[in-house]
Amino acid sequence: MARKSYEGVAVAVPVTVPYVRYSIRAAHWWLARCLAGLLTASGLKKEEIDGFSISSFTLAPDTAIGLTQHLGLSPRWLDHVPYGGASGVVALRRAARAVQAGDVDIVACLAGDTNHVDSFRLTLANFSQFARDAVYPYGAGGPNASFAFLTAYYMRNFGATREDFGKLCVAQRANALKFPHALFKKPLTLDEYMKARQIADPLHLFDCVMPCAGADGFLVMSEERAKKSGLSHARLLGTIERHNAFASDPVQMRAGWALDRADLYEQAGAGPEDMDFVQTYDDYPVISVMQLEDLGFCGKGEGPSFIRKHTFTWDGSLPLNTSGGQLSVGQAGAAGGALGMVEALRQLTRQAEGRQVKDAKLGLVSGFGMINFDRGLGSGAAILGC
């Protein structure tokens, strides 16, 4: 059956609760700040928001429903999306359908995590049953080790060099210098990237995200409702979600985007060449390249030549991760899955200040999440327009 259109759905009010490296607060604090930020920025009352979509690793033992009592909410629609880096896109897609169906008027999508000094290690040790049984006992390198395998394999098979990945990281740092909430404030040169200390061969320091605490959020409602409240917004033109695609590939070199991208572009009536910017999920540069390939910006294995041909700063030939991405802003747990979404909204509603992509009308946001064992399981993408 053909998928119904996402017409009439507005996405608005990008909010970032400024990240910090470590926090003594719980995830609830970060999500509360994020909701408060959404209310302040939108002028809406708490009671007017009748739907919530929550994504957080460190909210445990609570889930979304516990948060309703914690924050005094009484929603008629509630979703918990524990999909890590895919959760921003997934939250939007599901909220959009609920809005279209009339199940809810306004959904606040909140993604955030705290980061205590020892949180990251504990999260890794108990990330999934497969991780605990079959990955963590092998050096406890966490996602660094998993992405080292993928990066080494990609480099060997498709001729990518460290310089190629470095070009993405350096461009993103330049973008981050224009984003006040980025945790990395110093410029990064390719030389510094190349000389950084080794983490998990072939990954070096600047290939890896830095765990931190933070939250990001946005609102989903009908275009009518957004106009009524005077909220500048983007329109959802198309979106896809897929989990555990290509399970029999011995090593992950592609994910769900490759399966569903035709559907995505058909919904939007646009192709990759029409995108004014792209926000990929970028916990490691290799995964950004995989997204660019699977989303049709270039063919499989053509990532290296694509990188050499383009520039990726906010004013480049393909603006990529224009707020700096997780690599230069920080990875605030599940908020990493919403970082690209709020940046896309800023770009499309002309709030991107010093890094505004000129005449940006169409943008693509991609999500990728949950290294359950040897690969990321969740993938999704959304095309937004203004």
Q: How far is the CB of 208 from other proteins (least distance, A)?
A: 9
Q: Which is nearer to other proteins, 35 or 203 (CB)?
A: 203
CB-wise, 24 or 122, nearer to other proteins?
Answer: 122
Distance separating alpha carbons of residues 179 and 339, to the nearest angstrom? 12
- Residue 45 or 197 having the CB closest to other proteins: 197
Closer by beta carbon to other proteins, 174 or else 200: 200
Task: Please state the closest distance from residue 46 (CB atom) to other proteins, in A.
Answer: 39
At its nearest, how many Å lie between other proteins and the CB of residue 339? 23
Is 224 in a helix, a strand, or coil?
helix
| Rounded distance between C-alpha atoms, residue 313 and residue 60, angstroms | 37
Binding residues (CB under 8 A) for other proteins: these are 120-121, 124-126, 129-130, 132-142, 144-145, 148-150, 152-153, 156, 197-203, 247, 250-251, 373-374
The minimum distance between CB 297 and other proteins, in angstroms, equals 24
Q: Report, in Å, the least distance between residue 134 CB and other proteins.
A: 4
Residue 292's alpha-carbon distances to 195, 285, 320, in angstroms, are: 26, 11, 10
Q: Phi first, then psi: give them for residue 52, nearest 5 degrees.
A: -135, 140
How many CB atoms neighbour CB 205 within 10 A?
Answer: 13
Residue closer to other proteins (CB basis): 128 or 222: 128
Q: How many CB atoms lie within 10 A of CB 45?
A: 8
Provide the minimum distance between the beta carbon of 149 and other proteins in the complex, in angstroms, as a whole number: 4
Closer residue to other proteins, CB minimum distance, 123 or 379? 123
Q: Are 340 and 326 in contact (CB under 8 A)?
A: no
Q: DSSP H helical segments within 117-246, as ranges?
A: 119-125, 129-134, 143-158, 162-176, 190-195, 223-228
